[in-house]
């Protein structure tokens, strides 16, 4: 009886989880300041980067305001979160707008979602998009030699894995394709990520306890994202934290990483561990811990810590990707 109740609770919770995030994303898009045109940006929608051009393998390009000049401009490849199973580039337009307003050409991608498409589908798609961006960024005024990878939550996991593909000679064909581009990101921003999908029960042990709805979503990740992964497929690119903690030496230097997270985020410990592991490998890892903030806090730009997080992010990128932009005051975040 108890098993049936728990199963029902998880099913209902999953539906609520999906509905809540889609509802919030849809509502946000109705705001008049959500339109790229409001900031002098140009958006090119639904550009195919792979064979499934009707949905999964599409990206949107956000071009910066004309005040930044003709370019070429630094590039951001943005990967959305959503527990590997929900949301899309359309739900994460705000992130793309934020980067484009600072002078970046942004490629905001879709990818195949679990459980219909379990691991390694998502990371394979991100690697495919990485390869596509290196070949096509110049057509949109982008300078791929100044590439930033950015993503949050599940997207943070995926950009960390793409960084491994760029810096380590891996056996997976899709990872080797990234390595063979010869392009290593100038910086990576994996925000409040889950960096080890296996052993997800560890988060339930964190004190104080996390809400049941959240705990259920995290606990089911190994099943929904990893599925029945064949034995011959390594989980390294699902668990990038394990690769770094193992101490595997990269074939190319790892790029600097900025790791923002709230102190009340249930995934907090993964950021702490990633910071330590990267530092041990000699890479620059700057973790910023925002007091009292929950998962996804930087989305809410009306809040002080969200604005601080974005300022910290751009200060880091100004240091490692390009010189500080001569950005007009009208480009300050005011969504």
Enumerate domains of the chain plus CATH numbers: 2-326 (3.40.50.1820)
**Per-residue model confidence (pLDDT) at position 171:** 96
Q: Quote the pLDDT of residue 230.
A: 83
Q: Which two tokens stand for residue 79?
A: 């990967």
Q: Tell me what pLDDT residue 231 has.
A: 80
Q: Residues 198-204: contacts with CB within 8 Å, 24+ apart?
A: 198/222, 198/226, 198/235, 198/238, 198/239, 198/242, 202/269, 203/266, 203/267, 203/269
* pLDDT the model gives residue 228: 86
Q: Which residues of the chain have pLDDT under 70?
A: 1-33, 53, 206-209, 323-335
């Amino acid at each position: 009886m108890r098993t049936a109740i728990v199963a029902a609770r998880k099913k209902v919770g999953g539906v609520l989880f999906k509905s809540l995030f889609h509802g919030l994303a849809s509502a946000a898009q109705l705001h008049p300041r959500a339109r790229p045109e409001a900031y002098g940006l140009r958006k090119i929608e639904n550009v195919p980067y792979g064979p499934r051009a009707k949905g999964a393998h599409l990206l949107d390009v956000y071009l910066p305001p004309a005040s930044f000049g003709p370019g070429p401009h630094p590039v951001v490849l943005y990967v959305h979160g959503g527990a590997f199973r929900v949301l899309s580039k359309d739900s994460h337009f705000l992130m793309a707008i934020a980067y484009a307003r600072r002078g970046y050409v942004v490629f905001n991608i879709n990818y195949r979602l679990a459980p219909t498409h379990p691991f390694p589908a998502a990371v394979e798609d991100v690697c495919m998009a990485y390869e596509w961006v290196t070949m096509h960024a110049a057509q949109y005024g982008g300078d791929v030699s100044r590439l930033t990878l950015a993503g949050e939550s599940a997207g943070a996991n995926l950009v960390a894995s793409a960084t491994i593909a760029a810096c380590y000679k891996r056996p997976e064909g899709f990872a080797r394709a990234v390595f063979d581009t010869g392009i290593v990101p100038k910086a990576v921003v994996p925000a409040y990520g889950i960096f080890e999908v296996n052993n997800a029960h560890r988060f339930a042990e964190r004190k104080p306890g996390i809400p049941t709805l959240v705990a259920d979503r995290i606990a089911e990740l190994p099943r929904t994202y990893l599925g029945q992964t064949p034995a011959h497929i390594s989980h390294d690119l699902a668990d990038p934290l394990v690769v770094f903690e193992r101490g595997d030496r990269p074939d190319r230097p790892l790029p600097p990483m900025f790791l923002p997270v709230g102190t009340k985020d249930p995934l907090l410990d993964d950021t702490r561990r990633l910071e330590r592991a990267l530092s041990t490998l000699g890479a620059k890892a700057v973790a910023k811990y925002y007091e009292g903030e929950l998962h996804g806090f930087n989305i809410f730009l009306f809040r002080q810590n969200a604005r601080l997080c974005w300022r910290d992010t751009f200060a880091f990128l100004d240091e490692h990707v390009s010189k500080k932009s001569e950005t007009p005051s009208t480009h300050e975040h005011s969504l």
